[in-house]
Structure 1
Amino acid sequence: MADLAEAIRLCTPATTGLQADILAKAYTQRGAVLLLTSTTMRAGEGKNDGAVQALVLGGKSADEVEEMARADFREGKRWGGEVAGEMDVKMNPVRKLCGEIVREAMVRDLRESGVLPPEA
């Protein structure tokens, strides 16, 4: 994490294409580490044994860490990172909510038509 932060610091503001490419990759990589950390935090439910959590995150919640990841993906996208752009879209809370609403409607329709058994 410190190396990624240093790469971002050294390349900001970007004045060349190479610096922009480094920024895109560094933000994307840091976003991926933060996303994995937030997922691990949720799976651990209360365990605070990760080095990244203790050293870098300073007691932040899994939701706060996920938002940090999303911010890094947005920055990576801004500097031309395709993967960062895809991850930013995937993590969009409106998209998640819409997907959940559609899933619930489909399950309800399948239950009403008899394809799925009624809820227990």
Structure 2
Amino acid sequence: MASATMARPSLTSNDSAVLQALFDAESSPSSGVTIDPRLPAWPATVLISHDDLQSLKGLEVEIVRELQPDKNPNFESVQTAVHKLDSIVQQYPSYPSAYINRAQTLRMLVDLQFNEISNANADEGSSDTLFTPEATDLATRILNDLSQAIDLAKPISPVNPVSPVQARLLADAYTHRGYIVLKAARIKKNHNSEEIGNVGPQRLWGVGADQLEEMASRDFFLGGQYGNKVAQQLAVQTNPYAKMCGAIVKEAMRKEINGS
């Protein structure tokens, strides 16, 4: 007579570590990123003198301060901030911080300019101002700026250490870009192209929903690696392998509970 005790699979230490990394965002291997406070704020590819960097930092602080909620920024003040950041980018095209600050300022501009349109279209596909047809050009600029900030700030090799300033920028930029890409994936999954047309950043138009979700998961993973806790959680939720393993585990548990 066969034993009524169900044999349970044993996991190797490696298997356990993989499952832990897949299902527990806090265990994401952020140790793979080395942050060295002794390093200069930006890599050598950012060809700006120390004095100019200090001046730029002060100028950016002034710009961002005017956009704080207690200043009650309106469309005109946000647009002025965008123009100031345009000037910085034009004069210092290798300066990563200006690109991410401009991306975030443009995001505010989109909300102020297209909020009413977005609310009116909430039942038609997306309540996000960034994914209204009218916001296409600005959405494209935002995604391009985030990508440029990442390209300029990321280390030459993943094993190279980064400064705390680099790490913060990369964490924010990867997470922001991941959100935009994930939003595009959700819209494509929930509505066909005939219903909503092409919305959002143009470079994402021809990409399928599943591929977009994988791209977003990758960005969230990297954002988490550089220290963004929200990105760590979203990386797990969007990781296709975690989803697959989750389905396998759930099915195994169901069979064990039912005794089959």
Question: Shorter-normalised TM-score: what interval?
Answer: 0.7 to 0.9
Write the distance in 2 (CA, Å) between the matches of 1:18 and 1:43. Answer: 38
Aligned length: 106
Stretches of structure 2 that go unaligned for 5 or more consecutive residues are 1-142, 156-160
Write the distance in 2 (CA, Å) between the matches of 1:12 and 1:99. Answer: 32
What's the CA shift for 1:6? Answer: 1.7
Q: Give CA-to-partner distance per residue, 1:15-37, whole Å, 9 cap, x none.
A: 31011110011001100111111
Query: Is 2:200 the partner of 1:51?
Result: yes
TM-score of the aligned structures, taking structure 1 as reference length: 0.73
TM-score of the aligned structures, taking structure 2 as reference length: 0.36
Aligned residue among 75, 83, 88 for 2:222: 75
Q: Give 1 or 2: higher helix fraction.
A: 1
Does the 8 A contact of 2:221 with 2:232 survive in 1? yes
The Cα RMSD (Å) is 2.4
* Letter of the 1:73 counterpart: F
Write the distance in 2 (CA, Å) between the matches of 1:90 and 1:51. Answer: 22
* Letter of the 1:77 counterpart: G
What's the CA shift for 1:3? Answer: 1.4
What's the CA shift for 1:99? Answer: 4.7
Write the distance in 1 (CA, Å) between the matches of 2:152 and 2:235. Answer: 24
Partner of 1:24: 171
* Letter of the 1:6 counterpart: Q
Partner of 1:5: 147
* Letter of the 1:11 counterpart: A
Query: Is 2:175 the partner of 1:34?
Result: no
